[in-house]
Amino acid sequence: MCDWSDLEECLLVNAVELSPLWALAPDCSRSDDEADWPPYVERLKPLIAAWVRAGRIALWRGPEWPAFEGGHRVSIEDVDAVLSDDEFWTYRESATVVVHLELLVETDRIRPPLG
C-alpha cells in the first residue's frame, strides 16, 4: 500500500474529478473559511508542478469547465506562471478563464512520494 500524504490524496482525487484550481484549497483544507486556504495553496503549487513535470497530471486552461473543451493544455514551461496567478485559485461566478486538473495515468501506477 502506498503512503500518501493527505495533500497528495487530495490532489489525486481532484485530478480524477477534473477539479478547477479554485476548488483544491477548500477541499484539501476541509474548510469553508477562506482564511484557512492560503497555506494549502502554497503547499499545492509545488506539488502540482512536480506532478505535471512527472507526467502524472495536466493543467487545462479554457473559457469554461471542462477547459479541454475549447481550451488548451498548459505547457510545462507555463505551469509555474499559471500556478502563481491568484486569479485561478479564486472562485468567480463570472470567470472568463478556468484552469483545471486532469489525471494522465492510471491511479494504480502512481507511487508516492514525488512532491
User: What is the domain partition of the chain in residue ranges?
Assistant: 6-106
Enumerate the β-bridge partners of residue 103.
Answer: 57
* Model pTM score: 0.87
Q: How far is 22 from 105, CA to CA, in rounded Å?
A: 23
57 pLDDT more than 70: yes
Q: What is the DSSP string of 56-101?
A: SEEEEEESSSSTTTTSEEPPGGGHHHHHH-GGGGS--TT-S-EEEE
For residue 26, the surrounding DSSP H or E stretch is helix 21-29
CATH 1.10.260 fits 6-106, yes or no: no
Q: For residue 68, what pLDDT is reported? A: 82
34 pLDDT more than 80: yes
Q: For residue 95, what pLDDT is reported? A: 75
Q: How far is 45 from 81, CA to CA, in rounded Å?
A: 10
Average pLDDT, the chain: 88
